[in-house]
Amino acid sequence: MSAPLHLVLLGRGKTGSLVETIARERGHEVRIIASAENPGGKAITADSMQGVDAVIDFTTPSAVVGNIAACAAAGVNMVVGTTGWQNKLASLQPMVEQSGIGFVWGTNFSIGVNIFFAITQAAAIAQKHGYMVRIAEKHHVHKKDAPSGTAVTMQKLLTAQGGEAQIESIREGETIGTHVVLIDGPEDTMMLVHDAKSRRGFAEGAVRAAEWLTGKKGFYEFKDIFNKL
């Protein structure tokens, strides 16, 4: 566990609230900035971020881009667990890198899911042997993006060397998150399944990413650094 940090949390939804709880359990100081205080990232300035070690964002796709730009301008490290904004990566990454901050983003901060990503990537070879690959993901009805960022990451891993992997998205009840890879061939069928039991794994991964960022600069994806935590 790292030395105590001063963290700022953006977003107090179900996962964001757990981030606050876990950060305090790990001995960190946490300040909350509510969305009403922070339109367009305006509450994030060099002055307001004095002494802050990292900002953790679990807001919405419409809010996160302004928050990223504000953190880059303020020179404060950032961890982004919000999904649904990754189509803007190409324009945001150079800005973040030029700012000199440390930045970690991920479509999922669960250690288990990131192990599942590695397993999924290994399964991509099935398409070269005539198997059809599909992804099904199910989340709660409040989730703002579909398909999920996790499913999109899985799709990229499965199609990196060609082939297709269609995604079916289901929004039902209070489901935390279930992802299934179906690998179907003429002679047999395989299934890979990740089923989240709680949101705690997502929240803890984000806090640990903020700890890992201490003293670092650069633009990182969580799936590439989780083994270093």
Mean pLDDT for the chain?
95
Residue whose structure tokens are 């700890």: 211
Residues recognised as catalytic: 139, 143
**What tokens were used for 94?**
């150079």
Topology given in CATH for the domain delimited by 111-195: Dihydrodipicolinate Reductase; domain 2 (3.30.360)
- Banded model confidence at residue 50, pLDDT cuts 50, 70, 90: very high
Give the three-class secondary structure for 116. Answer: helix
Do the Cβ atoms of 146 and 100 come closer than 8 Å? Answer: no
Q: Looking at residue 12, what is its pLDDT?
A: 84
- Pairwise pLDDT comparison (101 vs 13), residue with the higher score: 101
Query: Rounded to an integer, what distance in angstroms lies between the CA atom of residue 94 and that of residue 102?
Result: 13
Decide if pLDDT at 14 tops 90. Answer: no
Q: What pLDDT score was predicted for residue 71?
A: 98
pLDDT tens-digit readout, 151-185: 999 999 999 989 999 999 999 999 999 999 999 99
**Could you give the CA distance from residue 5 to residue 28 in angstroms, rounded to a whole number?**
5
Q: Residues 20-41: what's their mean pLDDT?
A: 96
Residue 59's pLDDT band, with cuts at 50, 70 and 90, is very high
Interatomic CA distance for residues 150 and 136, integer angstroms: 11
Enter the tokens of residue 50.
Answer: 């004095």
Torsion angle of the four alpha carbons 32, 98, 222, 9, in this order, in degrees rounded to the nearest 10: 0
Give the whole-number percent of the chain exceeding pLDDT 90.
93
Q: How confident is the model at residue 13 (pLDDT cuts 50, 70, 90)?
A: confident
- pLDDT beyond 80 at 1: no
Q: Which tens digits make up the pLDDT trace of 85-124?
A: 989 999 999 999 999 999 999 999 999 999 999 999 999 9
pLDDT band per the 50, 70, 90 thresholds, residue 197? very high
Q: Is there a contact between 112 and 177 (Cβ–Cβ < 8 Å)? A: no
Q: What are residue 209's DSSP bridge partners?
A: none
Rg of the chain over Cα atoms, rounded to whole angstroms, equals 18
Tokens 């004095």 correspond to 50
Is the alpha carbon torsion for 120, 122, 127, 129 positive or negative?
negative
Range 6-109+200-228 has CATH code 3.40.50.720:
yes
Whole-number pLDDT of residue 146: 93
With vertex at residue 168, the alpha carbon angle to CA 165 and CA 170, rounded to the nearest 5 degrees, is: 155
Average pLDDT estimate for 179-202? 96
Residue 23: the pLDDT is 98
Domain spans in the chain, listed from the N-terminal domain onward: 6-109+200-228, 111-195
